[in-house]
């Protein structure tokens, strides 16, 4: 186990009907609110009205930043910052999924900063303060509701960048599993893949002697695997939705499950190069690439993949070599993603091999990627070929 620091100050308020706690949560903070949301779904399902009612009850002054994109844009964030400054707003309330929350975080850190918020994404300036932020989550996936991370896209410069800051942790996040009943099946699938991928990125680590953290990772994986299929068959199964929601939050809440472990985000980086060229969801790319990354790297640390197969997928080790056990676990991962309806190949998404060179080179633009196994352009190319 490596040395580490860990802190996660976000308060989570979890359960059916917890949107009704919004007023009392806000009471601790300001009453001049920027309400941030995406498309019309929260208006269609009544959540918008519920939120407005809570805000009215405490006499809040509310301005809105709506239409936040699935890949939130820095231009939208800048609009939010201006609204806050113009109307002297002192609290940001995000209602939506990871994109909405990420945009709201960027607004929160941007308001007290004299320069342009994009500086934080380019790591040209350090975040030292933020407006307080609260969230109401409508989609289990990114963990953004209990961490300080944000991913923002700048289309003018063709860049997708991220920041992480202790100041960007939400003060509170309201997690009501019933709000996810109406999430379309493909988005539920993406959320499952996203949550599992977050765990993989921590679990497949070069760090040794981390038995508790490994088990915490395995606990989330097993629970997502079981409950993902239930939620897809019964979208309004409260327990399945609640279990998925808690798993999504715990999977990426500031590293609680992987304290003292080096992470490996190379699959994430490879996928970003695919979705930089083709308009696919991040989780769709992860579903395709992750099992192939596993096939390419598993020999770097066979014991971890054997453990993964046996503990997470209940692969019976009897009569098998370690390599066979590991490969059975990887195949089980692939089969699960396929079974829930996530894509298996780039071909499934009508993507052919003509951009593999470009994607491989872009992935390693700043040098080799990966800590579990270091990958150069050729290695990335091979993983992408496996993914065709």
Minimal distance, residue 3 CB to a second copy, in Å: 3
Which tokens in the block code for residue 364?
């390693």
Comparison of 16 and 277: residue with beta carbon closer to a second copy: 16
Q: How far apart are CA 257 and CA 85, in angstroms?
A: 38
CB of 9 or CB of 115, closer to a second copy: 9
Question: Which C-beta is closer to a second copy: that of 2 or that of 234?
Answer: 2
Using the minimum distance from each CB to a second copy, give the nearer residue, 211 or 319. 211
Locus of tokens 């109307």: 87
Structure tokens given for 270: 């490879």
Shortest Å distance, C-beta 269 to a second copy: 28
Q: How far is the CB of 209 from a second copy (least distance, A)?
A: 4
Q: Tell me how far, at minimum, the Cβ of 267 lies from a second copy, in Å.
A: 24
What kind and span of H or E run contains 306? helix 302-313
Of 107 and 216, nearer to a second copy (C-beta) is 216
The token pair that represents 142 in the structure block: 């990114």
Closer residue to a second copy in complex, CB, 18/190: 18
> Residue 319 region, left (φ>0) first, then alpha (ψ -120 to 50), else beta?
left
* Shortest distance in whole angstroms from residue 210 CB to a second copy: 8
User: How far, in Å, CA of 65 to CA of 322, rounded?
Assistant: 53
- Rounded to a whole number of angstroms, the minimum distance from the CB of residue 242 to a second copy is 5
Residues forming contacts to a second copy in the complex (CB under 8 A) are: 1-18, 209, 211-212, 215-216, 218-220, 222-223, 226-227, 239, 242-243, 246-247, 250, 256, 259-260
DSSP conformation letters of 245-260:
HHHHHHHTSSSGGGTT
Cβ atoms < 10 Å from Cβ of 316: 11
Q: CB-wise, 137 or 269, nearer to a second copy? A: 137
DSSP string covering 337-360: HHHTT---SGGGGT--GGGHHHHH
Q: Can you read off the two tokens belonging to residue 322? A: 């370690």
| Nearest C-alpha neighbor of 298 from the set 190, 213, 203 | 203
Q: Provide CB contacts within 8 A for 8, sequence distance 6+.
A: 146, 147, 169, 253, 254, 256
CB nearer to a second copy: pick between 223 and 371: 223
Q: Would you say 259 or 325 has its CB closer to a second copy?
A: 259
Other C-beta atoms lying within 10 Å of the C-beta of residue 5: 7
Q: Are 300 and 373 in contact (CB under 8 A)?
A: yes
Q: How far is the CB of 197 from a second copy (least distance, A)?
A: 17
Cβ of residue 247: shortest distance to a second copy, in angstroms? 6
Q: How far is the CB of 203 from a second copy (least distance, A)?
A: 13
**Which has the closest alpha carbon to 360: 379, 388, 374, 346?**
379
The DSSP symbol for 71 reads S
């Amino acid at each position: 186990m490596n040395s580490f620091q860990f802190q996660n100050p976000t308060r989570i308020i979890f359960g059916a009907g917890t949107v009704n706690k919004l007023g009392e949560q806000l009471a601790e903070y300001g009453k001049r609110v920027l309400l941030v949301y995406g498309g019309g779904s929260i208006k269609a399902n009544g959540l918008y009205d519920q939120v407005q009612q809570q805000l009215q009850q405490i006499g809040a002054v509310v301005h809105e930043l709506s239409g936040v994109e699935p890949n939130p844009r820095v231009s939208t964030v800048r609009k939010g910052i201006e609204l806050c400054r113009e109307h002297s707003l002192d609290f940001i309330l995000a209602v939506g999924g990871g994109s909405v929350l990420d945009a709201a975080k960027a607004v929160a850190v941007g308001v007290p900063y004299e320069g342009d918020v994009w500086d934080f994404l380019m790591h040209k300036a350090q975040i030292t303060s933020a407006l307080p932020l609260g969230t109401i989550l409508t989609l289990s996936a990114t963990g953004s509701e209990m961490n300080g991370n944000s991913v923002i896209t700048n289309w003018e410069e063709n860049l997708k960048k991220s920041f992480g800051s202790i100041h960007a942790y939400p003060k509170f996040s309201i997690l009501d599993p019933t709000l996810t009943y109406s999430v379309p099946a493909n988005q539920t699938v993406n959320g499952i893949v996203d949550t599992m991928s977050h765990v993989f990125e921590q679990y497949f680590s070069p760090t040794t002697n981390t038995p508790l953290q490994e088990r915490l990772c395995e606990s989330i994986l097993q629970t997502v695997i079981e409950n993902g299929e239930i939620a897809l068959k019964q979208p309004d199964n409260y327990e399945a939705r609640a279990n998925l929601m808690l798993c999504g939050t715990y999977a990426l809440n500031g590293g609680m499950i992987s304290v003292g472990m080096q992470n490996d985000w190379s699959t994430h980086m490879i996928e970003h190069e695919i979705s930089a060229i083709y308009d696919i969801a991040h989780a769709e790319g992860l579903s395709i690439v992750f099992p192939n990354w596993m096939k390419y790297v598993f020999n770097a640390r066979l014991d971890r993949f054997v453990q993964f197969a046996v503990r997470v997928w209940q692969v019976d080790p009897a009569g098998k070599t370690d390599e066979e056990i590991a490969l059975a676990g990887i195949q089980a991962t692939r089969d699960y993603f396929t079974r829930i309806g996530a894509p298996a190949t780039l071909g499934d998404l009508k993507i052919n091999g003509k951009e593999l060179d470009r994607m491989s080179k872009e992935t390693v633009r700043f040098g080799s990627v990966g800590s579990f196994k270091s990958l150069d352009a050729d290695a990335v190319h091979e993983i992408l070929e496996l993914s065709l």
